């Protein structure tokens, strides 16, 4: 059978990984796919750089649209990153009736609903396993493996760069900036690493996961997003003392009539599964009503792990390319006409346990005043400790039991106004999970 021709947009970290895997494992891949897959053209910005990696049979150009429109291109693999140009080229590929494989979560989080609607109408596939959690086949798991379940929640470490930074800071005491430099050198970070450290990349991925888990449209704009750039190293130390470690988690959960959708630094118990996920590894917990909790673990970033996901998509597309579009797995797991409009909850409606830290004048009555305000807001204290700061001040750290975030907001603003409170009240969320 004639090989399928791949037109690739981008030959960076993931593009080169994909080129390598398709060559190194060509025979095994063809045995699975049923035919050979070959990269016939590549679009980049710097042609000379790209030619160092490719053989002479591959056409190299700076004109991405020519790759997309080439009648010999059967599948377009989009690996340039960014939003707008990638979006235009992917939409053009769909308009040309071509299947697309992409690892671009920024594009899908912002334009996924439009892209998937266009692909559905045209009867083509847009596959995106590499867009969430690198080499972990989490999309396949949620979309197909757990299809019998009403999914209750998903929580996970879904950004390799921030997990690498937090691990390096905690284990080796390296600075935030040093750890970020290392993550960039290793190819984990986004072209703009603020996407990683401010939680935006994790929010992109969470929006896609929530859509597949609950059958809702992709709603990146509704994800509450906090990163790790303002995380104080003293909170990492205090958390450790309390038996927790801090991870940047993406969490989405059914809660009453709505869906929680949030990314933030989170204290998880040091003996929990997630706390032992180190470096650029990712781990995603998915709780289904039928199966119970399930865990998916693996390399969440980097050239070969991501290429593993991209090539798996290429195999899927090859196998299904001649199937009737109605017989393919829906892009967002649920049939497009069956998506639901269940609301995304505001953070005030979210329920969690909390870590609170504040500096106070160390004098009689301070603790009882703070405890009373917490109690008045219906918040129960699980544990606390106090650490002297100089002769007359102290840092107080509380762990609360489960509470509603709106009540915690109320208590914090009242505590903040107390005359003996000398610092901003730092609030981090605490999740037990598994």
Residues contributing to the site for ligand HSE (CB under 6 A): 134, 159-161, 188-190, 196, 201, 300-301
Selected catalytic residue, list 98, 105, 140, 205: 205
Which residue has 């596959």 as its token pair? Answer: 127
Q: How far is the CB of 355 from ligand HSE (least distance, A)?
A: 25
For 184-277, list the strands marked E by DSSP. 224-225, 244-255, 258-269
Q: Can you tell me whether residue 216 is helix, strand or coil?
A: coil
Contacts of 56 (CB under 8 A, 6+ apart): none
Which residue has 């599964």 as its token pair? Answer: 273
| Pick 301 or 317: Cβ nearer ligand HSE | 301
Cβ 50 vs Cβ 11: under 8 Å: yes
Q: How far is the CB of 11 from ligand HSE (least distance, A)?
A: 17
Burial of 61 (0-12, 13-18, 19+ CB in 10 A): middle
Q: Is 105 assigned a catalytic role? A: no
- Is there binding between residue 12 and ligand NDP (CB under 6 A)? yes
Cβ 283 vs Cβ 274: under 8 Å: yes
Window 306-345: contact mask with ligand NDP (x via CB under 6 A): x---------------------------------------
Q: How far is the CB of 11 from ligand NDP (least distance, A)?
A: 4
Q: 143: how many CB neighbours lie within 10 A of its CB?
A: 19
Write the DSSP assignment of 53-94 as a string of letters.
TS-TTSEEES-HHHHHH-TT--EEEE-S-SSHHHHHHHHHHH
Q: Which stretch in 183-191, 224-232, 281-289, 355-363 sits in contact with ligand NDP by CB under 6 A?
A: 183-191
- Is there binding between residue 151 and ligand NDP (CB under 6 A)? no
- Is there binding between residue 64 and ligand NDP (CB under 6 A)? yes
Instruction: Name which of ligand NDP, ligand HSE, none residue 286 binds, using a CB cut-off of 5 to 8 Å depending on partner kind.
Output: none
Burial of 145 (0-12, 13-18, 19+ CB in 10 A): middle
Binding ligand NDP (rule: CB under 6 A), the pick from 112, 130, 250, 298 is 130
- Is there binding between residue 137 and ligand NDP (CB under 6 A)? no
Positions in the binding site for ligand NDP (CB under 6 A): 10-15, 43-46, 49, 64, 79-81, 85, 103-105, 130, 134, 187-188, 190-191, 301-302, 306
Residues that are catalytic? 205
């Amino acid at each position: 059978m004639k090989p399928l021709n791949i037109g690739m947009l981008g030959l960076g970290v993931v593009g080169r990984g994909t080129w390598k895997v398709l060559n190194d494992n060509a025979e095994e891949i063809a045995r699975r796919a049923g035919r050979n897959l070959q990269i016939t053209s590549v679009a980049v910005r710097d042609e000379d750089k790209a030619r160092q990696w490719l053989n002479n049979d591959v056409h190299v150009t700076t004109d991405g649209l020519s790759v997309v429109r080439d009648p010999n291109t059967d599948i377009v693999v989009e690996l340039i990153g960014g939003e707008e140009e990638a979006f235009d080229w992917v939409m053009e590929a769909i308009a040309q009736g071509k299947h697309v494989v992409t690892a671009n979560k920024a594009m899908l989080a912002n334009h996924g609903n439009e892209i998937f609607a266009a692909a559905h109408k045209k009867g083509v596939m847009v596959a995106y396993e590499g867009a969430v959690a690198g080499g972990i086949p989490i999309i396949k798991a949620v979309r197909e493996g757990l299809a019998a379940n009403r999914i209750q929640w998903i929580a996970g470490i879904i950004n390799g760069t921030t997990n690498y930074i937090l691990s390096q800071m905690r284990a080796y005491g390296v600075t935030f900036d040093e750890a970020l430099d290392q993550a960039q050198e290793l190819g984990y970070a986004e072209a703009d690493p603020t996407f990683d450290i401010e939680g935006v990349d994790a929010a992109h991925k969470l929006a896609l996961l929530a859509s597949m888990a609950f059958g809702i449209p992709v709603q990146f704009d509704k994800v509450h997003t906090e990163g790790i750039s303002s995380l104080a190293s003293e909170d990492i130390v205090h958390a450790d003392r309390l038996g927790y470690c801090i991870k940047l988690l993406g969490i989405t959960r059914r809660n009453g009539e709505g869906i929680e959708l949030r990314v933030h630094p989170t204290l998880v118990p040091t003996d929990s599964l997630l706390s032992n996920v180190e470096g650029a590894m990712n781990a995603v917990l998915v709780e289904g009503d039928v199966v119970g909790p399930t865990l998916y673990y693996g390399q969440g970033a980097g050239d070969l792990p991501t290429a593993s996901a991209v090539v798996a998509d290429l195999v899927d597309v090859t196998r299904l390319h001649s199937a009737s579009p109605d017989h393919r797995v829906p892009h967002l797991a649920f049939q497009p006409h069956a998506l639901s409009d269940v609301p995304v909850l505001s953070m005030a409606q979210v329920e969690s346990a909390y870590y609170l830290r504040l500096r106070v004048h160390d004098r009689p009555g301070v603790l009882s005043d703070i405890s009373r305000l917490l109690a008045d807001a219906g918040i129960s204290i699980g544990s606390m400790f106090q650490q002297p700061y100089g002769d007359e001040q102290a840092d107080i750290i509380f762990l609360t039991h489960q509470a509603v975030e709106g009540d915690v907001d109320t208590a914090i603003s009242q505590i903040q106004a107390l005359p003996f409170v000398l610092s901003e009240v730092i609030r981090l969320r605490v999740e037990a999970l598994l």
